[in-house]
Every structure is written in C-alpha cells, then in structure tokens.
Amino acid sequence: MNDLTDLSDLTDPAASGGHDAVTVPVIEHAIELTVNRARVRATVEPRTSLADFLREQQMLCGTNIGCEQGVCGACTLLVDGAPARSCITPAVACAGASVQSIEGFDDDPAMRELREAFRAEHALQCGYCTPGMLMTARDIVTRLPDADDARVRLELSGNLCRCTGYVGIVRAIRRVLEARRARAAAPAALLAGA
C-alpha cells in the first residue's frame, strides 16, 4: 500500500494483521468551573490535564505546554488566584474552581504594566515561556512588593526560558516593582490627578 494518505491499516486493527481490537474504556465526568470569569460546563476525562482542557476543549491556546512534568513553568496559570502548573493538574480536579489563563488578564492593571515592561525590556524572544513568565511575574509583583533582584531570580527559578533571556525578564519585573513602589510612596494628592 503506497498511498501515504490511506491510514486504514493503522486505524483498523483487522487490516494490520487481524489482532483483537482493544477496547479502551472512556471515563468522563461532567464538571462546572469558572474560566476567565465565565461559567463553563464541560465533560472531561480525568486524564485530561487542565492545560489540555483549556487548549483543546476551550480553544484557549495561550497556555503553552513544555515539559508536562511540572518543571518548566510554561503552563503556569492561576487556580483560585494562586499560580499552579496546569500540565500536572487534572481538569476534573478543578471542578468548582476559578481558573484564569493568560487570555483572562486584558484588563488586569498589574498584567498591563508587566506586558508593557516586557516589551520595553525585550523580555521575550521566541515567546514560548512568556505566558508562564507573566503569571509568575504577576505573582512576584503582587505578593512580594519589596523583592530585590536576587529574590526575583529565586522566585523565577521555576520558569525556564529556552532562549535564556532571563536578564531582560528580571529587568522587566524590576521596572514594574520600582514603578509600583514609587506609586505607593507618592502622596495621595499627587495620585489624584494621575
């Protein structure tokens, strides 16, 4: 069979030697959760990760998948407001939870500042790690307002950038931290007109 588009021998067990077809049971659960502030009802297999659920069932492809073992940080997003690895979190375990993926931050003030800082400081090259980097960066600037560069690097150690563009990423986060600290220190009267 030379026709490369004919895959019948791969999909039909009988055509490839007649061995018994293996029936894999499909287990599905109905879940209800919040995705980027919208209520979502869906049916998922327990083996489906949150990352795959978002990408393949919700068509939210901003979450990138790298290592699928919780090491690279590319798939980091917020579950109930806290960063989590969506590649090792089953979607079914997020029933009832509020999930916020990179698509859900258009009007988020901290994320808007970070996006501008990432652009100004060339904090992305290929962009693959960027959604996860932004999630961790947002966690740093909101949870650790006094972080210095050493702390920023420590907190970023769970996000790998294959382009090794860490200097720009650290600079971008520092830029946002400094801007937020300056605003916090400014007298309220000055902010009133801003």
d(CA 51, CA 54) in angstroms, rounded, equals 5
Shortest spacing between CB 103 and another protein, in angstroms: 18
Shortest spacing between CB 135 and another protein, in angstroms: 8
Binding residue for another protein, selected from 35, 92, 129, 137, defined by CB under 8 A:
92
Which residue type, as a one-letter code, is found at position 119? R
Which C-beta is closer to another protein: that of 15 or that of 167? 167
Q: Does 136 bind another protein (CB under 8 A)?
A: yes
Tokens 């297999």, residue located: 45
d(CA 130, CA 79) in angstroms, rounded, equals 18
**Structure tokens belonging to residue 115:** 């996006």
Instruction: State the Cα angle at 85 between 135 and 41, rounded to 5°.
Output: 95
Q: Does 42 bind another protein (CB under 8 A)?
A: no
Which C-beta is closer to another protein: that of 35 or that of 77? 77
- What secondary structure does DSSP assign to 107-130, as a single string? T-HHHHHHHHHHHHTT--SS-SSH
Q: Does 131 bind another protein (CB under 8 A)?
A: no
The region of 3-11, 26-34, 111-119, 182-190 touching another protein under the rule CB under 8 A is: 26-34
Q: Does 25 bind another protein (CB under 8 A)?
A: yes
d(CA 161, CA 93) in angstroms, rounded, equals 28
**Structure tokens belonging to residue 61:** 């492809």
Q: Which residues bind another protein (CB under 8 A)?
A: 24-27, 29, 45-47, 49, 52, 68-71, 73, 76, 79, 82-85, 87-90, 92-93, 95, 135-136, 139, 154-155, 157-159
